[in-house]
Amino acid sequence: MFHSRGLKGWIWPGLVASTIVVASSCSQVAGPDVPGIDKVEHALIYGLLGTLVVRNGFLPGYGWLAVLIVSIFGVSDEWHQSFTPGRSVEVADWLADTIGAALAVFLYAGWAWYRGLLEMSLNRSKTTPLQCDIAGPNS
C-alpha cells in the first residue's frame, strides 16, 4: 500500500499544506476579480498537494488514499476558515480541492510521460560533458 521516501519526502507536501493554512488565516487573499476563479485556484493548489502526497510513496492502486488524505485536509482547511473573520466555509471549495487532487493523482498514476517528467532529476552535474577531439585521433 505504501513505501515511504522517509521523513525527507514529506517536506514539500508539508510546506504546501503550511502555505495553505497561512493563507486560510488571512481575512482576505489577493486574487483576480473573476467569477469562479477561486475554484480553479483551489483545484490547482490541491492538485499540487495531491501530486506531492502521492509521489511520496503510494504503491499503484492506492492513489485513492492520497486523494482521501488531501480531501480531509481540504475539509479541515474549510473548517479552519470558519474561525477567520471575513472568510466563509464553502462546500464548493472543498469539492474543487478534492477534484483537483483526484485529477492530479489520476494524471500522475496513469500518464507515464507526466510521471517521468515530475520524477526527472534536476541535478545535471552528474552527467559527463560531451568530449570532442578537434585534432582527431592521429594528432
Of 59-68, 100-109, 120-129, the one with minimum mean pLDDT is 120-129
What's the confidence (pLDDT) of residue 34? 84
Of 18-22, 67-71, 118-122, the one with minimum mean pLDDT is 118-122
Sign of CA dihedral 77, 80, 85, 90: positive
Give the integer Cα–Cα distance in Å for 94 and 76: 9
100 contacts 46 by C-beta, under 8 angstroms? yes
- Quote the pTM value: 0.80
Tens digits of per-residue pLDDT, 34-52?
Answer: 888 999 999 999 999 999 9
Domain locations along the chain: 38-118
**C-alpha angle 74-16-105 in degrees, rounded to nearest 5:** 65
* Residue 77: closest CA among 60, 61, 91: 91
User: Cell 483551489 appears where?
Assistant: 42
